[in-house]
Amino acid sequence: MVGVDSLIVAGVLGIGVGGAVTALVMRAKLRKQLAIMRRAEQRARSVERLAELGSMTSGLAHEIKNPLSTIGLNIQLLAESLGELEIEADERDRLQRRVGSLGREIERLKDILTDFLDFAGEKRLDLRPTDLNAMVGELADFFHPQAERQSVRLYVTPASESVVANVDGPLIKQAVLNLLLNALQAMGEPCEEGATREIYLRTEIAADGQHREARLRVADTGQGMDAQTCASVFKPYFTTKSGGTGLGLPTSRRIVEEHGGRIEVHSEPGRGTEFTLVFPLPEVKPK
C-alpha cells in the first residue's frame, strides 16, 4: 500500500508541475497576443502613413495644376501677340509652331494631373437604387456621336428585366465611360474597307439561388490583348497607347471595388476584348 506521506508528496509535486505548465501556456499566449498587437500597430502606422502620402500628393498635384493654368493662359496671349508682330512670315510660323507645341504639352500635363487626382482622390459614395438599364441608355446617347465620328457602331442590349443596383450613379457612369473610351481607342483608325468596328454595351442579371449579381458588359472588336497585357491593364500608369495616362482602367476598377463589386477582363489577340462590371444585388427573400 502507498503511505499517506507518499500521497501528500505526490499531490504537492502534481500541483507544482501543473502550475508551472499553466504558467508556461499563459506566457506563450501572452507573447502571441503581444506579437499580434505589434503587427496591428505596424499596419495602422502604415495605413496612416499612406493616407498622409496620399493627402500630400493630391495637394501637390493641385498646387502644380494651378500655375499650369496660368502658364497656359500666357501661352495663348503670346500666340496672339506673335500674330501681330511685324516679322517675316516664315519666322512667325516657326515661333508659332514652338508656342503651339508648348501649349499642347501644358494641356497634356493638365490631363495627367486631372486623371491622377481622379484616381487618387477619396471616393465618397452616394448610394441610391439605380436602374442600370436606364443608365446604359443615357451613356449610349452621350457616347454615340463620338463613336460615329470614328466609324464605330455602338450596339446596346439592356436586360429583359429591371436591373436595379444600389450604386453611386455618376461614379458608375464614369467607370463605364472609361471602358467605352478604352474600347474606342482599341479600334485604332479605320484603315480597312469593310473591317468590323463595333462596341457592345449590355446589362444582365446572373442568379444562383438567392445570390444575385448585376453585370454590365463592354465588348469591342478591336485588336485584343495577350495574357500578359491583360494581367497588367489595371496597374496604374500601364498603357499600350501613345499619349495615354494609364489611369482610366485602374480608376474604373477602384470605383467598382468601392461598391463591393469586381471587374473582369477577357481578351484574345485579334478577337477583341470584353470588360465585365459585376455588382452584388439584394438577396431574394424566400416567399
Give the mean model confidence (pLDDT) for residues 272-282: 91
- Which of 16-30, 56-70, 164-178, 272-286: highest mean pLDDT? 164-178
Q: Which one-letter DSSP state was computed for residue 44?
A: H
Instruction: Provide the pLDDT confidence category of residue 243 given band limits of 50, 70 and 90.
Output: low
Over residues 83-136, the pLDDT tens digits come to 888 888 888 888 888 888 888 888 888 877 777 777 766 677 889 999 999 999
Q: Specify the DSSP element, H or E, that contains 70.
A: helix 4-84
Helix H or strand E segment including 121: none
Position 206 pLDDT exceeds 90:
no
Cβ neighbours around 265 below 10 Å, total: 17
Q: What is the pLDDT at residue 56?
A: 59
Which residues have a Cβ under 8 Å from the Cβ of 78 and sit 6 or more positions away? 99
Arithmetic mean of pLDDT over the chain:
81
| pLDDT attached to residue 209 | 63
Tell if the pTM clears 0.95, that is, is over it. Answer: no
Position 18 confidence tier, pLDDT thresholds 50, 70, 90 = low
Confidence (pLDDT) at 53: 57
Sequence-ordered strand ranges (E) for the chain: 128-131, 153-157, 164-167, 198-208, 211-220, 262-267, 273-281
Burial 205-236, CB ≥16 within 10 A → b, else e: beeeeeebbbbbbbbbbbebbeeeeeeebbeb
Q: Is the pLDDT of residue 72 over 60?
A: yes
Q: What is the pLDDT of residue 7?
A: 47
Q: What does the pLDDT average to over 203-224? A: 87
- Give the model's pLDDT for residue 137: 93
pLDDT at 12 over 70: no
Fold of 128-281: Heat Shock Protein 90 (3.30.565)
pLDDT in tens, 129-155: 999 999 999 999 999 999 998 899 999
Domain coordinates of the chain in residue numbers? 1-122, 128-281
Kindly report each contact of residues 107-110 with a partner whose C-beta sits within 8 Å and lies 24 or more positions away, as own/partner: 107/72, 108/243, 109/64, 109/68, 110/65, 110/68, 110/69, 110/72
* Confidence class for position 28, pLDDT limits 50, 70, 90: confident
Residue 219's SS3 state is: strand
Q: Percent of the chain beyond pLDDT 70?
A: 79
Per mean pLDDT, which range of 39-48, 49-58, 90-99, 156-165 is the poorest?
49-58
